[in-house]
Structure 1
Amino acid sequence: MGQKVHPTGIRLGIVKDHQSVWYADKSKYGETLLSDLKARAFLLEKLKAAQVSGVRIERPAANAKVTIATARPGIVIGKKGEDIEVLRKELAKMMGVPVQINIEEVRKPELDAALVAQNIAGQLERRVMFRRAMKRAVQNAMRLGAEGIRVQVGGRLGGAEIARTEWYREGRVPLHTLRADIDYSTAEAATTYGIIGIKVWVFKGEVLGGIQAVRDQAAAAQRRDAAKKNGR
């Protein structure tokens, strides 16, 4: 079963939290969800250079709180915060409610599945050999403390006539263990031979205490970041 379902979807409410957190009336649910999808797609496209790992959207009352996880917060914020203010206005116009933007720095991009997949895609587009790109990503993740990582690429690898799939793994990636914290993401590399798909699974260890423990850790990390920003 662990091989057949999305590794994040099966763990929602166990060790993974939702990307959108809000309640909507039945008549407005579809409209609100579509607004979230458009906002997320807009941010991922606009902030490609900032290495965005994920976008979390909360809707308290008649507002929206957008948290952007990025490896390069300076690019998102811009000089004297100009870029983030422009971004906030564009999002508010798109979503139709006042928007507050928070930036969350990804301290170890080598352990973030989305950023690893984006990095491999970038290398493949620059014509780096796919095996070298995969091996480098796996070695970097293991060096920085991952308990296991698996990288899979599929398509016309190396310009081959027939598409195929290859994967490389180090450590363990227990897809059947629901308490296992497995970060999963995909990316696409547009090469001259066609699209190459990339999938990345990163096993960061087992979570004891369920979803509440995950939320407590996230809240503690946010407090640390806020304290650092305020110079305490």
Structure 2
Amino acid sequence: MIERHFIQEQLKKLKLEQYLAPELRSAGFVGVDVIKTPIATRVIINVTKPGLAIGKKGKTIKNLTKELEEKFGYENPQIEVQEVKEPELNAKACVDRIVTLIERGYSWRSVVYRVMEDAIAHKAQGIEIVLRGVLAGKGNRAKHERVAKGYMKKAGEQAYLVDYAKGMAVTKIGGIGVKVRIIKPGIVFPDKRSINEILGRTEVKEEKKEAEGESKAGRVEGEEKEAEEKSKASEAEEGEKIKEEAGREKIAHEVEAKAEATKEKNVNESLSESPAEGNEKLTDAQKIVPKAKKVKKEEKNAKIGKATKEVTKEKAANEKENNLEKEGKKESNKEDKAEDYKEASESSKNIG
């Protein structure tokens, strides 16, 4: 039967928890999750202090893997140590904390109230701690003490949403039983939901559908508006660029006009005054300008001289070539005349 298989697996897990609890008590053992895969079996150990569970160079994990294979028959077990993020909201971790402190000799009242305040500080909806045993000291009767704060559920299916754990502290006087119930933040019970919220959700869904339809129409209009705005912005940018270029040209013309006016003023002042004073008032720029003109003229003349030399050289080379061609033609004519003379003389001899 399939039911028997599941029952056997759960019994196996329970035995594993009973075995690991004393082994990893110092590490704050909370629980175990076993996940079977085709390659290996993952064993996830939830602990409040993972460093103590791993040990030096993973010694404790290696020992545990061997024992899991031999005692429990797990094939290729892969142990993973997972840290409990908020131990103040875990019932098993709170029970272990209370048990260890009571066994060390601390007052149960101070321990219980400290655990309760820590849970409420971490936004727990409610917490209940129950102690039973010899709490007052040697020779006294067993007592039942209950300390609670916040909201708590104890009956019905809703009770499964409450985190529950129990343990026992063994003291010199006797055993003390500890039970802890915690409702974690984020858990919503059915009786805490209002009809207005449920109805509000349906109204919200209808409003969302209407808003989506309106948003689609609005998107189309928005895209058209954006395209128009972009075209207008581009036109405005082009107009600004043209204005900036025109302004720059105006400024350049004004600067040139001012420079020419200042030059004319300086020249007129130099002519009106005596030559000695005019020469003294000549600026460095006015002295440098004629020198620059002279240098430019000399460069132009040098370029023209080079060009004329090259042209004359080309002409001389062409004349030489023409003379050589003419001499060659004359020699060829002389040879032709000599040949004609020889032929005529030979023909005259034959006739004679």
TM-score (norm 1): 0.72
Structure 1 residues 27 and 121 mapped into 2: Cα distance closer, same or farther (>3 Å)? closer
Instruction: State how many pairs are aligned.
Output: 187
Q: Does 1:197 align with 2:177?
A: yes
Q: Deviations over 1:103-153 (max 9, x none)?
A: 211111111110111111111111211111111110111112211111110
2:158 aligns to what?
A: 178
- For 1:43 and 1:71, locate their aligned partners in 2 and report how far apart those are by CA, in whole Å: 14
Farther off after superposition, 169-178 or 39-48? 169-178
Could you report, residue by residue, the CA deviation over 1:58-98 in whole angstroms, capped at 9, with x for unpaired residues? Answer: 33458432111110011111223232122112112112122
Partner of 2:79: 101
Q: 1:220: which partner in 2?
A: none
Q: Which aligned pairs between 1:32-47 and structure 2 lie closer than 5 A?
A: 32-47=9-24
Q: Secondary structure at the match of 1:86?
A: helix
Q: Does 1:165 align with 2:183?
A: no
In structure 1, the gaps of 5 or more residues are 1-23, 210-232
Residue 84 (str. 1) matches residue 64 (str. 2): no
Query: Quick one: percent identity of the two aligned structures?
Result: 30
Q: Unaligned 5+ residue runs, structure 2?
A: 190-352
Match of 2:65, as an amino acid?
R
In structure 2, distance between residues paired with 1:59 and 1:25: 17
CA 1:95–1:127 in structure 2 vs 1: closer, same or farther (change >3 Å)? same
Paired residues of 2:43 and 2:78 also in contact (CA < 8 A): yes
Q: Which residue of 1 aligns with 2:226?
A: none
| Partner AA of 2:168 in structure 1 | E
Partner SS state of residue 19, structure 2: helix
CA distance in 1, matches of 2:188, 2:126: 18
Map 1:50-69 to 2 at 5 A.
50-61=27-38, 63-69=40-46
User: Is the aligned partner of 1:136 residue 2:81?
Assistant: no
Larger radius of gyration: 2
> Hey, which of these two has a bigger chunk of helix by percent?
2
| Separation in structure 1 between the aligned mates of residue 10 and residue 158 of structure 2, nearest angstrom | 27
| 2:123 alignment partner in structure 1 | 145
Does the aligned pair in 1 maintain the 2:153–2:159 contact within 8 Å?
Answer: no
Query: C-alpha separation between the residues in 1 aligned to 2:7 and 2:163?
Result: 27
Q: Quick check: which one's strand share is greater?
A: 1
Higher relative contact order (CA 8 A, sep 6+): 1
Give the TM-score of the pair, scaled to structure 2: 0.49
Partner amino acid for 1:52? F
Q: Distance in 1 between matches of 2:183 and 2:88?
A: 12
Judged with a 3 Å threshold, the aligned counterparts in structure 2 of structure 1 residues 170 and 59 are, in CA distance, closer, same or farther, namely same
Cα RMSD of the aligned pairs, angstroms, is 2.5
